[in-house]
Amino acid sequence: MKIETKIAHFSSPLYLESGRILEPYEIAYETYGELNEDRSNVILVCHALSGSHHAAGVYEGDRKAGWWDGLIGDGKAVDTTKYFVVCSNTIGSCFGSTGPMSNNYPSYEPYRLKFPVVTIKDMVRAQMQLLSDLGIYHVRAIIGGSMGGMQALQFAVDYPNFADEIISLAATYATRPWTIAFNKVAMEAIRKDPRFKHGNYARDAFKEEGLDGLAIGRIAGHISYLSPESMDKKFGRNYVSNDGLFELFGRYEVERYMEYNTANFARMFDPLSYLYIVKAINTFNLSRGYDSLHDAILRIKARVHLISFKTDYLFFPCEMEHIAKMLERNGQSYSYKEVESDYGHDAFLVELDKFEEDIRSVLS
């Protein structure tokens, strides 16, 4: 599989939903496979909160594959011998695209809290700019899970003629209070950490030790990505063997897992980027800018494929089913599948075997 990683530079302004302007800006992106002569084999992949443009393959000298490597590649469901796959890092992120720790041009100081609030609609508009810059004006499909699924749906509404197929997994039509409440734990934990310094920390300040507030907040997020059933299967009531049961800070295996995973995350992810992306998720509402959700959905011309997961307690299956029912009432082309899964929200990243053939079928 041919992989290319690049950064696109834009001097023209990006007009944001808030009324503010981002200028200049950069977008990091990765491509897989080869673009055919008539540019008709493009698939756009959109990432979730903690994802990046590195969706598939393994970098030289690196052991960790891209976050959807099981789905994207030669002969896989998103077959890179047939399709030219593009995945870009969203604006506001910390993996190469312009975000809060980027230089606030013309100075060399980071934006920090002067960075404008970005929305899912803004992320989509920036990707449209990137694709236009690449000479791509129509795509075979747009695929994404969680926040990536939000982007896929936003593309379908805002740019009705842009894609043939929209595949949205584990997403929603608008972020509900339950999810916003989980996100609030992370936001407050970051803001109240003294080392956060109200956003005035140095670049790479947390590369070695991480930020405790982000690690704690990520625990709340991680709980929402799993399910009681998946935790029972993975950990049971197993206790860490070298911790005493009657030691106050002795740990169950689930506690050790949370500590280890969130500590690693807090070293690699910028806390300001986390706050900005969580804000984008919280403000997501497919109907904003239109008279109603019905009017927004009615704009869609692509064939829409919705996949939810039974034990997803972040974006419940009923939320995806609600979109499906609206599409059905309108006589629009759609499919809906609720996957039997005990893995929770993260099933879209983990249990690929339960939906990869559905995606292969849509693309073929």
Residues noted as catalytic: 146, 312, 345
Nearest of 260, 250, 196 to residue 222 by alpha carbon: 260
Residue whose pair of structure tokens reads 């606030």 in the numeric block: 104
Residue whose pair of structure tokens reads 């075979």 in the numeric block: 140
Q: By the 8 A CB rule, do 119 and 284 touch?
A: yes
Nearest of 129, 145, 119 to residue 288 by alpha carbon: 119
Round to whole Å and give the CA distance between 180 and 311. 18
Residue whose pair of structure tokens reads 């984008």 in the numeric block: 280
Round to whole Å and give the CA distance between 28 and 91. 9
Could you give phi then psi for residue 322, rounded to 5 degrees? -60, -45
Q: What share of the chain is helix, strand, coil (3-state, %, to 5)?
A: 40, 20, 45
Q: By the 8 A CB rule, do 314 and 281 touch?
A: no
